[in-house]
Structure formats: C-alpha cells, structure tokens
Structure 1
Amino acid sequence: MSLETVAEDIRDEARARAREIEADAEERAEAIIAEAEADAAEIEAEREREIERRIEQEREQRLSSANLEAKQKRLEARRNVLEDVRERVEAEVASIDGERREELTDELLAAAAAEFDEGASVKVYGRADDEALLVALLESYDGYEYAGEYDCLGGVVAESEASRIRVNNTFDSVLETVWEDNLKEASSRLFEQ
C-alpha cells in the first residue's frame, strides 16, 4: 500500500467522520431548536391563558360591581317609595278629625291612664290643635290636667312626677309600632317580583 493510498483512506475516514459529526450536530441543533420552540409555544399558551383568566376575572368583577350598583339603586328606590308611603300615611293619620279623632284620642288616653295609680296627679300633653278635645276628655279623669303641646300627629303623652312614669300613646307611637310590625308585608305587596 502506498503512502498516498493510506493518506487517501485517512482523508476519506476524516471526511466521513466530519459528515457524521456534522449530521449529529445538525440533529442536536434541530432538537434544541424544537425544544426551544416548544418551550416558547408553552410560554405563549400560558400567557394567553393568564390573559384570558385576567379578562374573565375583570369581567366578573365589573359584572359583580354592576349588579351591586343595580341592587343598591333598587333598594334606594324601594326605600324612597316606602318613605313616600309612610309620609302619606302620616298625612292621613294627621288629618283624622271629628268623631273618629275623639274616639281614638279617648282610647289612647284610657290606655295611658291604666298605667297610673288611682288618684295620681298626671299631666297630659298633646297636639296643639287637639287642646280643646283633650281638655274636654280630661274632665272625666280626676287628677289629670292638660299640660301643653307635644309635637305629634295626635294622641297623648301622659306623665306623673310622683311615679316617674311617662306613657307615650301618640298616633305617632302607634303608627311606628304598626309600621315596624307590617313593614315586611307592605314591602312584599309593593314590590312583588
């Protein structure tokens, strides 16, 4: 074998080995690129999912906020309607007059008198417009006297210093009790859904 043949064989082997190394390097480079592309695609997909989660979360927060605001407006409107109804009821109660006003005032006075001992000295207060009515009704009660005006829709406030008792039997106090006891039912009737 000649030296030239040996040199040619070594060169052929070197070229073959170089092609193998190059092919292996290309294969590894393609694998690295594919892995990097897969990582990039996963990162991109994760970011898209995160953006979608944020968008959904913000949408839910805005929807919740809008629902809360709508609920608050409905409650405020209901409260306004109930206040209007209450004012109209108060106006109706304040306008009771004549025999009906006398009957109601007499019943409230009798209920207040039941709270005091017999023979007690009791001062009775009432609406300024009811002074004549109260003075006339008090003639039936010993030790009771009209003591002046009380800011109310009608009825009486009776008190005795000796027993330290004060009874509020005004139309206002009765209305308040009836209102509180029936508010839920009134609200249900007004705002049936």
Structure 2
Amino acid sequence: MSLETVVTDIKTEAEARAAEIREDGEDRASEIIQNAEADAEELLEERSAAIERQIEQEREQTLSSAKLEAKQARLEARRNVLEEVREQVETQLADLDEDTREELTRELLDAAAVEFEDAEHVSVYCRESDKALLESILDDYDGFEVAGTRDCLGGVVVESDESRVRVNNTFDSVLEDVWDDNLKQLSDRLFNQ
C-alpha cells in the first residue's frame, strides 16, 4: 500500500465523516428550527388568546359602564320630572282660590282641634297671606287664636303650652305625607311601568 493510497483512504474517510457530521448538523439544525417554529406558533396562539380575552374584558367593562351611565341618566331625568311635578303641585296649592283654601284650612284645623279639646288657650299659625282668613275661621273656635305665621303653602300649625302638643297640618306636611306614600305609584304612572 502506497502512501498515496493511505492518503486517499484517509481523505475519503474524512470526507465521508465530514459529510456525516454535516448531515447530522443539518438534521439537528432542522429539528431545532422545527421546535422553535412550533414554540413560536404556540406562543403566538397563547398571546392571541390573551389579547382576545383582554379585548372581550374591556368590551364588557365598556358596555357595563355605558349601561350604568344610561341608567343613571334615566334616573336623573325621572328625578327631574318628579321634582317638576312636585313644584307644579306646590304652585297649585299656593295659588288655590279663596273658597277652596278656606275649605281645606277648616278641614285641617278641625282635624288638629281634636288634639286640643281640653286646652283653654290654643295657638294657631298660618302663612302670612292667610292670616285674615284664619282669623275669620277662628271666630268659630273658643280659646283658639292666631299666634303668628309660618313659611308654608297654607294650612295650619296648632299648639298649646298646656298639652305640649304641636300638630302640623300645613299643606306642606300633608303633601309630604301623600308624596311619600304615593311616590312609587306616581312614578309608575308617569313612566308607564
């Protein structure tokens, strides 16, 4: 065997080994690339799913916030309408014609007088513009006298030092009671619920 043959055999063997190493390296590189691509695809899917969840969550929050704002706006509008209705009622009570005002004042005074049957001196208060009306009505009541005025829509406040009782039968107090007792029905009727 000649030296040339040995060199050729070594060279052939080295080339075969290099080709084998190259092929193994290419296979290994291909495997690494496939794994990296699979990992990247999985990561992309996870991120996409996370972004979709975040978008859906933000959409739900925005929708919920918009619904809450709309509900608050409806409640505010209803509150404003109810306030306007109450103001209209108060205006109508303040502007009652004389006959109706006298009739209602007598009824409220009669209802209050029951509490003061044994009292010798009873003080009655009314709104400033009803003072003359009340004085004429009190001519029918022994021991009752106009003691002053109150800031109210009408009606009477009756009290006695002897019994330490005060009855507030003003239009305001009656309206407040009626309003509180019937607010839900009024709201239902006004807003067709």
Residue aligning to 1:31:
31
1:52-82 CA distances to partner (integer Å, 9 max, x unpaired)?
2222222222222222222222111111111
Q: Tell me if the contact between 2:123 and 2:147 (Cα under 8 Å) persists in the aligned partners.
A: yes
Q: Does 1:46 find its partner at 2:16?
A: no
Tell which deviates more after alignment, 106-115 or 42-51.
42-51
For residues 84 and 152 of structure 2, the distance between their equivalents in structure 1, rounded to whole angstroms, comes to 18
Structure 1-normalised TM-score?
A: 0.88
Structure 2-normalised TM-score?
A: 0.88
Tell which deviates more after alignment, 29-38 or 137-146.
137-146
Question: Which structure 2 residues correspond to residues 18-97 of structure 1 after superposition, within 5 A?
Answer: 18-97=18-97
For residues 192 and 69 of structure 1, the distance between their equivalents in structure 2, rounded to whole angstroms, comes to 21
Identity %: 65
Tell which deviates more after alignment, 120-129 or 56-65.
56-65
For residues 179 and 50 of structure 2, the distance between their equivalents in structure 1, rounded to whole angstroms, comes to 53
Q: Does 1:164 find its partner at 2:164?
A: yes
Secondary structure at the aligned position of 2:147 is classed as strand
For residues 18 and 177 of structure 1, the distance between their equivalents in structure 2, rounded to whole angstroms, comes to 103
1:78-131 CA distances to partner (integer Å, 9 max, x unpaired)?
111111111111111222223322221111111111123513421100012211
For residues 116 and 39 of structure 1, the distance between their equivalents in structure 2, rounded to whole angstroms, comes to 93
For residues 91 and 52 of structure 2, the distance between their equivalents in structure 1, rounded to whole angstroms, comes to 58
Gaps of 5+ in 1: none
Moved over 6 A (4+): none
Q: Tell me if the contact between 1:138 and 1:145 (Cα under 8 Å) persists in the aligned partners.
A: yes
Secondary structure at the aligned position of 2:166 is classed as strand
Residue aligning to 1:129:
129
Gaps of 5+ in 2: none
Q: Tell me if the contact between 2:119 and 2:162 (Cα under 8 Å) persists in the aligned partners.
A: no
For residues 64 and 135 of structure 2, the distance between their equivalents in structure 1, rounded to whole angstroms, comes to 61
| Cα root mean square deviation, aligned | 2.0
- Give, as a single letter, the amino acid of the residue that structure 1 aligns with 2:12: D
For residues 89 and 121 of structure 2, the distance between their equivalents in structure 1, rounded to whole angstroms, comes to 34
1:18-46 CA distances to partner (integer Å, 9 max, x unpaired)?
32222121111111111112222222222
Residue aligning to 2:111:
111
* Count of residue correspondences: 193
1:122-155 CA distances to partner (integer Å, 9 max, x unpaired)?
1100012211221122222222111111111111
Residue aligning to 1:153:
153
Secondary structure at the aligned position of 2:81 is classed as helix
